[in-house]
Structure 1
Amino acid sequence: MQLLNFTKDKAKPVLNYNSIFTTYNKIIKTETPTNFGFIYVEANGLVGRHEAPVPQLFIVIEGEGWVQGKSDEKVKLQMGEAVLWEKGESHVCGSQKGFTAIVIQSVELQI
């Protein structure tokens, strides 16, 4: 499990296109088919333990929750924070308050 951070303070300024007060965080670059989706976990919700069928990038965009990889240690995540699970990696996630996350799945993730 690789923890990542996409919060605003990690973004780089956009200097092209006469942009003003704009920053950007690249998430991934792929050359193979990629699935992008939202997942909504309600208060006291849980996504049960399973193995990632392909590498999965999980980015919290609202609310807060937790993830677990192979260990029993719960790692808290909030808006802008992310986790990358490798293919076959067992994981589980949940939340007491609820969260929304973007899930990106592809056989090739270049972060």
Structure 2
Amino acid sequence: MEIIHPEPATLRPISAHGSVGLTAQALLRAETTAVTVLRVAPGGEIGDHPARGDQTLLITEGSGQVRSGAGPWHDVTAGDAVRWAAGESHTTRSAAGLTAVAIEVSGHGG
């Protein structure tokens, strides 16, 4: 058994795609699956980028907004889950800050 405590000291800063105030810690990396804890600081944003595979973002704490491409923003809060299809461009932002678990699945064995 391993207990993982995603704390500020263990999270790595991410600035890709123009992201601001984003930190991450990988929980699982496998050939077709990735599970990552993401923290968006108050006023932060995960910059617009295409999903590498089918992606689900489960908000575990806080609140924010998400959108697909240049579409409208949608409010999300703890307990909500958002799904994007592989290749779908998307952005997440938060005025108050949020923590989420991103689950990415690719290469369904085609």
Same fold (TM over 0.5): yes
Letter in 1 for 2:82: V
1:35 to 2:34 alignment:
yes
Q: Look at both structures and tell me which one has the larger radius of gyration over its CA atoms.
A: 1
Unmatched 5+ stretches in structure 2: 1-30
**Equivalent pair of 1:55/1:108 in contact (CA under 8 Å):** no
Q: CA 1:107 to 1:79, structure 2 compared with 1: closer, same or farther past 3 Å?
A: same
Q: What is the Cα deviation at residue 49 of structure 1?
A: 0.5
**Equivalent pair of 2:69/2:91 in contact (CA under 8 Å):** no
Q: What is the TM-score normalised by the length of structure 2? A: 0.66
1:44 counterpart SS class = strand
Q: What is the Cα deviation at residue 34 of structure 1?
A: 1.4
Q: What is the Cα deviation at residue 53 of structure 1?
A: 1.0
RMSD: 1.6
Q: What is the Cα deviation at residue 108 of structure 1?
A: 6.3
Deviates more, 1:99-108 or 1:74-83: 99-108
Q: CA separation in 1, counterparts of 2:71 and 2:33?
A: 30
Q: CA separation in 1, counterparts of 2:32 and 2:50?
A: 20
Q: CA separation in 2, counterparts of 1:51 and 1:71?
A: 12
Find the counterpart in structure 2 of residue 66 from structure 1.
65
Q: Give identity over the alignment, percent.
A: 31
Which consecutive segments of 4 or more residues in structure 1 shift more than 6 A?
none
Q: What is the Cα deviation at residue 76 of structure 1?
A: 0.4
Structure richer in strand, relative to its length = 2
1:66 counterpart SS class = strand
Q: CA separation in 1, counterparts of 2:64 and 2:85?
A: 20
Letter in 1 for 2:62: G
